[in-house]
Chains A and B, each alone.
Chain A
Amino acid sequence: MALRSLVSRKTLGLASSGLKLQFRGLQTFSLPDLPYDYGALEPAISGEIMQLHHQKHHQTYITNYNKALEQLHHAMEKGDSSAVVKLQSAIKFNGGGHVNHSIFWKNLAPAREGGGEPPHGNLGWAIDEDFGSLESLIQKMSAEGAAVQGSGWVWLGLDKESKKLVIETTANQDPLVTLGPLVPLLGIDVWEHAYYLQYKNVRPDYLKNIWKVVNWKYAGEVYDKERA
């Protein structure tokens, strides 16, 4: 699981700045920088939310992920299989939290740097083909995000087998790869911490405004790389 996360992160070219080498070759992770200022997504997402989300929530996933990986390392050295198995839920949750948030930051961009600008090129065509239009994709993704019970994510992914775009949701911090051979192009965090200070109980308003800061250029690049 841990190894798979490492591999998928490398394949996607994610969090490469956050990779550090530590004792005996055990890799640990550190918080990747945000590619923009905390306040740069306002008014869609407040600076206060972005700062807590990045510095506190994402950092906590990384801290606990590193802790779990270290425990895993020791358990494997000792050949303690039940300890290895027991660590899987913490690795999935915290490692997933790190993977998902690393994607999420890249999925957003300030409006003055192209945030919210509709996708051009191949991804634009594919969206029209698979969903009819960008508007209907946005509507469908917002509705599915609003319908997630409790905490989770809504994704636009590329199915590597059918080569089609798909909308999926995952619970808690399950990454999109837990559902199958899917490449995440765009993930929207629908945990309450992602919007509560600004939108309170009204998740649909958050899901209405976030499109103003979605970085479609990044999603298009991932798409092109996967289809190449």
Chain B
Amino acid sequence: MVAAAAATAANPLACSLFPSKGLRGTASGLQWTKRQCTRKTGPLTVTAKFELKPPPYPMDALEPHMSKETFEYHWGKHHRAYVNNLNKQIEGTGLDDMSLDDVVLVTYNKGDPLPAFNNAAQAWNHDFFWESMKPGGGGKPPGELLQLIERDFGSFDEFVQEFKSAAATQFGSGWAWLVYKANRLDVGNAENPCPSEEDKKLVVVKSPNAVNPLIWDYYPLLTIDVWEHAYYLDFQNRRPDYISTFMEKLVSWDAVSARLEVAKARAAEREIEEARKKKEEEEKNFTDKNPPEIFIDGVADDSESD
């Protein structure tokens, strides 16, 4: 992983044009991206765009549930490599003046990912993962979040079971997520794994390798990293023990609640926006079908009198 990224980083241009087989990227895909996304008009300013944010607590703050050693490697080596390699990959490609969210979405490239997708999504996922935990975490979620969980999963215990099972059964490397689903059926970018008319709902999903629910237009609320590097030093092969410890001792329900607020606000905003668009559309259609009538004095009468 790291080496792959390091190797590609040595020659970002070649890598962009000839992406590795595993990514199924295409040269035309990249050009499409460039045309769509380059917003600068002047000469390109080359900057190291994304920064490795320090974790929101000291590296030993999650002990004994997540060791300092695990944290030092996971944040200091793995996360750092994703960010550094992303910066090298996107330099001068037109992606380097976008937000990380947008880079994730654009490089996913409708299921035909560009080379930078893995590093971009992993940089995003890890930021989000650190903030999903806190020292003295775990327990039960507060008020409204708990009510929504009970509404959508039956009970808190049933939610915990579903989340744990998603995390345990993700084959190979990946992530398990709690998301707020406020999307349309057609998300335009990918196949929606939970297509249903029912919106504004909490859902548990899992994703392979770097894949992030933003591509399905879901709003992530909570995640657990189930790459082996996330738990191997502390739990070795015992992934289920790591998942239980995460749920019981580490989850920051405050963070999840705060994200839920943003998710709901965003969904509401979007609803208003869509209603406005729909109305505009209808008005436009009405105008198209009923063009204003223009009478020229005398002409109509003359033709009839003929």
CB distance B3 to A203 under 8 Å? yes
A178 at interface, CB cutoff 8 A: no
Interface size on B, residues (CB 8 A): 28
| Residue A215 lies at the interface, judged by CB distance under 8 Å to chain B | no
B228 interface hit (Cβ, 8 Å): yes
Interface code A124-158, partner B: CB below 8 Å = 1, 0 otherwise?
Answer: 00000000000000000001001111111000000
Binds A, one of B94-102, B131-139, B232-240, B261-269: B232-240
Collect the chain A residues with CB atoms within 8 Å of residue B173's CB: 150-151, 192
Nearest-CB residue, chain B, relative to A172: B172
The verdict on B220 contacting chain A, using a C-beta distance below 8 Å, is no
How far is A193 from B231 in the complex, measured between Cα atoms in Å? Answer: 10
Judged by DSSP, the binding face of B is: helix
Residues on B with C-beta less than 8 A from A56 are 236-237
Please, which residues of chain A bring their CB within 8 A of the CB of B229?
A: 192, 196, 200-201
**A192 contacts B227, CB within 8 Å?**
yes
**Chain A interface: which of B73-81, B103-111, B185-193, B286-294?**
B73-81
Q: Is the beta-carbon distance between B22 and A148 smaller than 8 angstroms?
A: yes
Contact between B228 and A93, CB atoms less than 8 A apart = no
Query: How many A residues have CB within 8 A of the partner chain?
Result: 29
Q: How far is the CB of B144 from chain A (nearest CB, A)?
A: 36
Contact of A150 with B174 at beta-carbon distance under 8 Å, contacts A56-B236, A201-B73 already known: yes
A148 touches B171 (CB 8 A): no
A94: shortest Cβ distance to chain B, in Å? 9
A45 CB to nearest chain B CB (Å): 15
* B47 beta carbon closer than 8 Å to chain A: no
Chain A residues within 8 Å of B77, by CB: 200-201
The docked-state distance in angstroms from the alpha carbon of A89 to that of B237 is 21
> Quick one: which of B4, B77, B208, B210 has the most chain A CB within 10 A?
B4
Does the CB pair B81–A147 fall under 8 Å?
A: no
B196 adjacent to chain A (CB < 8 Å):
no
Q: Is there an interface contact between B3 and A152, defined as CB atoms closer than 8 Å?
A: no
A169 touches B228 (CB 8 A): no
**Known A173-B172, A192-B229; contact A149-B210, beta-carbon cutoff 8 A:** yes
B172 contacts A171, CB within 8 Å? yes
Q: Which residues of B contact A6 (CB under 8 A)?
A: none
Neighbouring B residues of A57 by C-beta, 8 Å? 237
Nearest CB of chain A from residue B80's CB, rounded to whole Å: 9
> What's the Cα separation between A213 and B3 when bound, in Å?
21
B4 touches A149 (CB 8 A): yes
A169 to B210, CA, bound (A): 18
Interface bits B193-215 vs A (CB < 8 Å: 1, else 0):
00000000000000011100000
Q: List 8 A-B contacts (CB under 8 A).
A: A143-B7, A147-B4, A148-B4, A149-B22, A193-B237, A197-B233, A201-B78, A203-B2
A residues with a Cβ closer than 8 A to B are 52, 56-57, 60, 89, 93, 143, 146-152, 169, 171-173, 191-193, 196-197, 200-204, 207
Closest 3 CB pairs of A and B: A146-B3, A150-B173, A147-B4
